Amino acid sequence: MTPSLDPQEFSERAQETGLEISVEDATELGSFSEAVEATYAAIREIDTTGFEPAAIFVPTPSKRESE
Amino acid sequence: MAIQQSDLTYKSVAELAPLIKSGKLSPVELVQTSLDRISQLEPQLNAFLEVWDEAAVESAKVARDEIAAGRYLGAMHGIPVGIKDLIDVAGTRTTGGSKVLAENMAHSDATVVTKLKASGAVLMGKLNLVEFAFGTTGLNPHTADVKNPWDNARITAGSSSGSGAAVASGMIPTALGTDTGGSIRMPAALCGIAGLKPTYGRVSRAGVLDLSWSMDHVGPMTRTTEDCALLMNVLAGYDPNDPASSKEPLQDFTSDLNRGLDGLRIGIPSHYFFDDFVDQEIKHSVRAAIDLLVANGAEIVELSMPWVGKGRPINFGVILPESVSIHEKMIAENADLYSPAVRKRIQSGFNVSAIEYVRAQRARQWFNHQMEESMKQVDVLITPSIPIQTPTIADCTPSPGNPGAGSELPMFTGVFDVTGQPSHSIPCGFTQNGMPIGMMITGHPFDESTVLRVGHAYEKLTNWHQRPPTDIPAPN
């Protein structure tokens, strides 16, 4: 799913994930939404085959606390 | 003979520290000079949100007494420092320049503040910034706009806007900033000072309000490169309270400053950073700076980097969903307390999907691989810090239907938040209308020393960094 530019749809989809934004606020996003669209469009053009995400969980060594 | 206050105003830490150590200058006198300069220039510049004058004088007296008793702690002992109001100082408010956190009292010090206090530095107060550090122009409708000391009608850039203006105007010699897309280096460039974004993980983020966990950096903003090195000697180091903190060995960041330029290989990207969209005067100044470095022993390597323009989209593509996650509870409860521009900036990320975020993180890894390959040929990259001339505050002020100018500001700086490389902006000239131009020196991860070495070598060859701003009164 890409960021939606339709305010009604934008508001409904956000609320599906627990993020509250009114249709009025979504209507006023305007150029901000366009910048978001352009950002992820530019990223989608990149062939990332063979690359894992930069943020990978690394466990921290630990032991039971001594009594 | 006593030192005139006006003679102290634009001195660097490297100049002040020997005077303090030898007893020729009392930290109390220095702090009073700083307080007088703040009184002279505020609220003209709006750099400070709070000034802790009584506490600062008391700290200075403690420093004076310690030094007199033979317990000199090092170069930062007795030196005034300003703190960006994103960073916790116990017993004071950390507002993030917001109304949401207007009464947010810090109960403990950020790690960088603990380190500053241990160094004997004198904390002067909290510095203005963009609301929650989420913006590039430096403007903040909640706190009054920070004015550029070189032209009060123009922006400082941000988000560390107060830090840039306060150091440039001689209110304080050093400040802390934070950098997620360029928020140290952009105001450093437009205010004509030095600003170092250290390697990601080099300086602790513990006790600093988050904007984007995987992009946030904390670093020094000072008059000179040498002062950045002195401050890094205090700030850097592993911190178990920061999950991203690095255990890479520390260095004395001043140790390579005077090694000169012989044998250094400087990479000049043949893509993006010098393209047609970049202002001609800025390109000319940075090219002239490169020529000067070559004339003094450095070697140039032209680097083909056709992929590098993807850096800023990846930067913003990671920042946005992380900032939504950080703000989702606060914005649900206090949406009306956010300024419209920052609220919309955050809300615009509400429908970014999980796969878009993962794509951005994979793209970041791809990007970092490309950068590593290019960096194998060189010691540092040199580029302009910012592609455009300093906009006016009027041009950057949002209005209904107009988000305001300034989106081009982080096009270059954001690249190196993605890679986490150390990246340093220093002045390298002025535009015809008298505004500073910034040059960015970027090195290998954890090799701040070479970045600082190049910056220091350049500053020894030029005097751009010594010129006082032109749109503020001279010191009393």
- Render pLDDT for B340-369 as a digit per residue (tens, 0 to 9): 989 999 999 999 999 999 999 999 999 999
Contact assessment for residue B130 and residue B339, using Cβ atoms and an 8 Å cutoff? no
Confidence check: pLDDT of B17 > 80: yes
Q: How far is A67 from chain B (nearest CA, A)?
A: 23
Q: Which residues of B touch A17 (CB under 8 A)?
A: 350
Within 8 A by CB and 6+ apart from A65, the residues are none
Within 8 A by CB and 6+ apart from B280, the residues are none
Structural domain containing residue A22: 7-44
Report which residue type is found at B316: F
* Number of domains, chain A: 1
Q: Which of A2, A20, A31 sits opposite B403 (nearest CB)?
A: A31
Mean pLDDT of B74-80: 98
| Contact across the interface for A31 and B349, Cβ inside 8 Å | no
Q: What pLDDT shows up at residue B326?
A: 97
Cβ neighbours around A37 below 10 Å, total: 15
Report which residue type is found at B302: E
Q: What pLDDT shows up at residue B401?
A: 65
| Among B80, B76, B82, CA closest to B17 | B76
The Cα-based distances of B255 to B170, B222, B226 in angstroms read 27, 18, 10
Measure the CA–CA gap between B423 and B344, rounded to whole angstroms: 30
Residue entry with tokens 């946005």: B320
Residue A2 falls inside a structural domain: no
Residue A62 falls inside a structural domain: no
Q: What pLDDT shows up at residue B398?
A: 78
Mean pLDDT of B386-406: 85
Q: What pLDDT shows up at residue A63?
A: 85
Within 8 A by CB and 6+ apart from B176, the residues are B81, B82, B83, B84, B87, B112, B116, B163, B218, B219, B220, B221, B235
Contact assessment for residue B423 and residue B442, using Cβ atoms and an 8 Å cutoff? yes
* Structure tokens, B293: 């470095």
- A1: confidence class by pLDDT, cuts 50, 70, 90: very low
Q: Catalytic annotation on B385? A: no
Q: What pLDDT shows up at residue A67?
A: 62
ipTM over 0.95: no
User: Average per-residue pLDDT in chain B?
Assistant: 96
| Among B458, B304, B299, CA closest to B379 | B299
Q: Which residues of B touch A51 (CB under 8 A)?
A: 362-363, 365-366, 369
Within 8 A by CB and 6+ apart from B234, the residues are B74, B76, B115, B116, B118, B119, B121
Q: Catalytic annotation on B407? A: no
Residue A40 falls inside a structural domain: yes
Measure the CA–CA gap between B87 and B301, rounded to whole angstroms: 39
Instruction: Count CA atoms within 13 Å of residue B327 on its CB side.
Output: 31
Q: What pLDDT shows up at residue B29?
A: 97
Contact assessment for residue B27 and residue B60, using Cβ atoms and an 8 Å cutoff? yes
| Contact across the interface for B353 and A52, Cβ inside 8 Å | no
Confidence check: pLDDT of B320 > 70: yes
- Residue B282 sits at the vertex; the CA angle it makes with B278 and B285, to the nearest 5 degrees, is 140
Measure the CA–CA gap between A34 and A45, rounded to whole angstroms: 17
* Torsion angles phi and psi, residue B436, rounded to 5: -65, 150
Measure the CA–CA gap between B163 and B186, rounded to whole angstroms: 11
Of these residues, B183, B245, B339, B385, which one is catalytic? B183
- Residue B431 sits at the vertex; the CA angle it makes with B382 and B138, to the nearest 5 degrees, is 80
Residue A11 falls inside a structural domain: yes
Q: Which of B317, B332, B359 sits opposite A48 (nearest CB)?
A: B359
Within 8 A by CB and 6+ apart from B68, the residues are B23
| Contact across the interface for A54 and B368, Cβ inside 8 Å | yes
Residue A1 falls inside a structural domain: no
Confidence check: pLDDT of B22 > 70: yes
Q: Which residues of B touch A24 (CB under 8 A)?
A: none
| Exposed / middle / buried, residue B259 (Cβ in 10 Å: 0-12, 13-18, 19+) | middle
| Polymer length of chain B | 476
Of these residues, B26, B34, B59, B84, which one is catalytic? B84
Of these residues, B12, B159, B163, B423, which one is catalytic? B159
Within 8 A by CB and 6+ apart from A49, the residues are none
| Among B440, B430, B432, CA closest to B466 | B430
Measure the CA–CA gap between B187 and B390, rounded to whole angstroms: 10
| Contact across the interface for A40 and B369, Cβ inside 8 Å | no
- Model-level pTM? 0.96
Q: Which of A31, A42, A51 sits opposite B365 (nearest CB)?
A: A51
Element housing B217 (H / E)? strand B217-222
Measure the CA–CA gap between B315 and B61, rounded to whole angstroms: 44
Q: Is the peptide bond before B159 cis (omega within 30 degrees of 0)?
A: yes
Residue A65 falls inside a structural domain: no
* Structure tokens, B221: 């903003």
| Among B235, B167, B198, CA closest to B447 | B198
Confidence check: pLDDT of B6 > 80: no
Interface test mutation site (partner A, options B350, B355, B372, B409, max chain A beta carbons within 10 A) = B350
Q: Which domains does chain B show, CATH number per domain?
A: 5-466 (3.90.1300.10)
3-state SS class at B321: helix
Mark which residues 4-63 of A lie under 8 Å from B by CB. Answer: 4, 10, 13-14, 17-21, 25-26, 28-33, 35-36, 38-40, 42-48, 51-55
- A17: confidence class by pLDDT, cuts 50, 70, 90: confident
| Exposed / middle / buried, residue B242 (Cβ in 10 Å: 0-12, 13-18, 19+) | buried
Mean pLDDT of B206-230: 97
| Among B373, B450, B437, B384, CA closest to B415 | B384
**Nearest residue of A to residue B362, measured between CA atoms:** A53
| Exposed / middle / buried, residue B22 (Cβ in 10 Å: 0-12, 13-18, 19+) | exposed
Q: Catalytic annotation on B183? A: yes
Mean pLDDT of A15-38: 88
